[in-house]
A and B are shown apart, each in its own frame.
Chain A
Amino acid sequence: MKAQSVAAYLLPVGCLVAGCSDAQSVLNPHGAEAESIALLFWITAIGGALIWLAVVGALIYAGRRHRKPYSQASAARLVLWAGAVVPSILLAVLLGYALALIPDLRPLAASADDDRLHIEVIGEQFWWRVIYHPPDGQPVVSANEVRLPVGERVTFSLKSTDVIHSFWIPPLGGKMDMIPGRTNTFSLKATKAGIFRSPCTEFCGPSHALMAFTAVAMKPGRFDRWLANEGKEAVNGKPGLKPFLANGCGACHAIRGTEADGAVGPDLTHLASRKTLAAGSLPNTEDAIARFIAEPDEVKPGVRMPAFGMLPQDEIDAIAAYLARLE
């Protein structure tokens, strides 16, 4: 009985600890901002734990060991030092430390004109439009995946077209709201390579929980090669392009290098190179693409894409096969 209740208490603790190594954890820092926040967290948590132990120790000592009353003068000294002076000093140091972190966390100078990579991320129900603006070169449009080079500070411009969303890459830093009609700017610097899950962190509608992007921190050389490829037009000889265009998919989705130039939904030019499908809702497989074409509203309630389940199955399959090879 007792063992069971202990296990019942430990279960949530276990879950929390397991969360620490997750691709979505702030305690698994891979970026400058997340590292300093994690360090601040550990200092505060461990310091708090030590103070708690000291207070409880003193209580036990006073209650069990030292039954004799203190003199009024020594009691007053204790209250003065342990109750006022030491806490004030500790809090002042902690505050000073936290304030000193701020300039690095949110550099005031961060703006879209910096001479560095600038990534525009626009939240829409329920996906992310991502536009890379390299300092020297053409903008590259993508969706639902944010890649950035390790060791370089990257400026983000955050926008929304409909309701408030919130941008957060837990292992790198954030979060910052995306507000319709505003552009919020901040920057991130990845320090280690990794792949992270980045959920929308402001309730934005029925599929809020299904709105996440994949963040990938990559070595600078690999990143440059990836971005160069992402900027290229799609190369794909599969016959699915014909039904894709004939059924009007191109009115909403763009595939560069084809007639499809819609700007309503996510750009699909290099869909197959992404880690997930439909903003983190499905694994990026051919079957999942076919399913999403046929019943997007079943996968993501409230999705803005209408269902195309009325298409003949062979056309759905052909389109899925085509999209699954857009690398």
Chain B
Amino acid sequence: MKLNVNRHRIAVRINWKYIAIGLAVLPFAAVFVAWLGFFNIGAASGHWRITELFLQLAMRSAVRTYAIGIEEPEAFDRGAILPAAGHFARGCATCHGAPGEPRPAMVKAMLPRPPRLERAVHAWDDAQLFRIVKRGIRFTGMPAWPTQMRDDEVWGMVAFLRRLPDLDPEEYRNLAYGPAKRSRASGFNGSFDAALAGCARCHGMDGLGRSAFVPVIAGQHRAYFVESLRAYAAGERASGIMELAATEADRKLWQRLAEYYASLPATEDEQSAADAERIARGRRIAQYGVPRRDIPACLGCHGRPDRNPVYPQLDGQKRPYLENQLRLFAEGERGGTDYAHLMTEFASRLERKEIESLAAYFASRQVQRGKAE
């Protein structure tokens, strides 16, 4: 009896030992098998069915879980859809296709094959789409949004994706390419006209911006224009949309693009009478600042005809755009030219109501200066 107990104990001890050794060896064995190189990683034959089921399960579950707690903004202005459409045409349509645009054959050979979004978006709710667009998906080729600091842009894309299933090719082309009416096929061959068409998708050939969230760049000073493109391309000013656009346009063409838009007349936004009080409040802050709270007069920089050319022209700029930029500055997420930290500092001292008033005031201001110089 006694002997049996002892034997039993010994047997248990030996079993554990084998398991421990097995576990310790396992990773080395896995590396060894991979090193042998017999595992087929080619895309042509596709995944094993079980691998595919597992990956699908993992992805869907992860998107569902990580979408919990994402707060959806109040109804997003439709104006945000337009820059998202331009960005979709530039960044997404190559793989996902678009209304009236078939995909190149090589995309269909990708593993996994990117879904046609007209059909696929129904499977996700808004927060889940936001999560996918913002963070991307590993092992699929789906990239993250170029910057992680512009949720407003990502929400604009979500709003666009919701519209996408209902767009016919004509509507899509109008949204995404605008006046230039260029399709992707005639695309970017490095010529000035092609680069200009890239800008005009959202900003228009007249530089006035084709929606409320696209700023007026007509009449903007060349130095500010070029410095901003540089900041976008270097990732110093946060915008997924403009980072892609700025890196796509040939750097040598920036100056000519700047000259083109600087030479155009900026017209002021029409204001409704309901805004008069708000404009008056904004004017007070812009002219005198709020010295008590160390907020300087905006016009001390932005109102001077002889100002540093890297200080932008704000007169007649779009109200929603200005509001959004001031909010981004206040949150410390905008970035920009070498002078952007000045605005980060000052905007952080503004209250939300003051931001709205200032945006209304600058939108209402007559363009002060003649030719940009």
Contacts and interface: CB of A to CB of B under 8 A. Distances in A.
Contacts of B307: 246-248
Contacts of A265: 294
Nearest to B296: A251
B291 A248 contact: no
Interface of B: 288-289, 291-292, 294-301, 304, 306-308, 311, 338-339, 341-342, 345
B329 to A, nearest CB: 12
Contacts of B339: 310
Contacts of B299: 251
Interface residues of A, number: 18
A263 B308 contact: no
Contacts of A262: 289, 291, 296-297, 300
B342 A306 contact: yes
Contacts of B306: 242, 245-246
Contacts of B300: 248, 250-252, 262
B345 A263 contact: no
Interface in A76-114: none
B341 A251 contact: no
Contact of B308 (A246, A252, A306): A246
Given A246-B304, A246-B307, A161 B297 contact: no
A7 interface: no
Contacts of B294: 124, 264-265, 304
Given A248-B311, A306-B341, 18 more contacts: A245-B306, A247-B301, A247-B307, A247-B308, A248-B300, A248-B301, A248-B308, A248-B342, A250-B300, A251-B296, A251-B297, A251-B300, A252-B296, A262-B300, A263-B291, A264-B296, A306-B345, A310-B339
Contacts of A307: 341
Contacts of A304: 294
Contacts of A263: 288-289, 291
Q: Which of A248, A252, A310 has the most CB of B within 10 A?
A: A248
B114 to A, nearest CB: 43
A251 B341 CA distance: 16
Contact of B304 (A161, A245, A264, A306): A245
Contacts of A248: 296, 300-301, 304, 307-308, 311, 342
A307 B289 CA distance: 19
Interface in A112-137: 124
A310 B338 contact: yes
A222 to B, nearest CB: 32
Contacts of A252: 289, 296, 300
A260 to B, nearest CB: 8
Nearest to B339: A310
A247 B338 CA distance: 13
Given A304-B294, A307-B341, A310-B339, A251 B289 contact: yes
A280 to B, nearest CB: 20
B286 to A, nearest CB: 10
Contacts of B295: 264
A262 B341 CA distance: 19
13 contacts: A161-B292, A242-B306, A246-B304, A247-B301, A248-B296, A248-B304, A250-B300, A251-B289, A252-B289, A262-B297, A263-B288, A264-B291, A304-B294
Nearest to B288: A263
B291 A251 contact: no
A252 B300 CA distance: 8
Contacts of B288: 263
Contacts of A250: 300
A124 B283 CA distance: 26
A1 B369 CA distance: 80
B233 to A, nearest CB: 18
Nearest to A242: B306
Q: Which of A124, A250, A251, A262 has the most CB of B within 10 A?
A: A251
Contacts of A161: 292
Nearest to A125: B294
A132 B297 CA distance: 25
Nearest to B349: A304
Q: Which of A252, A264, A307, A310 has the most CB of B within 10 A?
A: A264
Nearest to B298: A251
Nearest to A252: B296
Interface string A127-150: 000000000000000000000000
What are the 8 tightest A-B residue pairs by CB atom distance, in nearest-first order?
A251-B300, A248-B301, A251-B296, A310-B338, A263-B291, A252-B296, A306-B345, A251-B297
Contacts of B345: 306
B301 to A, nearest CB: 3
Q: Which of B291, B296, B301, B338 has the most CB of A within 10 A?
A: B296
A314 B158 CA distance: 48
Nearest to B297: A251
A8 to B, nearest CB: 47
A250 B299 CA distance: 10
Nearest to A260: B300
Interface in A246-293: 246-248, 250-252, 262-265
A142 to B, nearest CB: 16
B373 to A, nearest CB: 13
Contacts of B301: 247-248, 251
Interface string A288-321: 0000000000000000101100100000000000
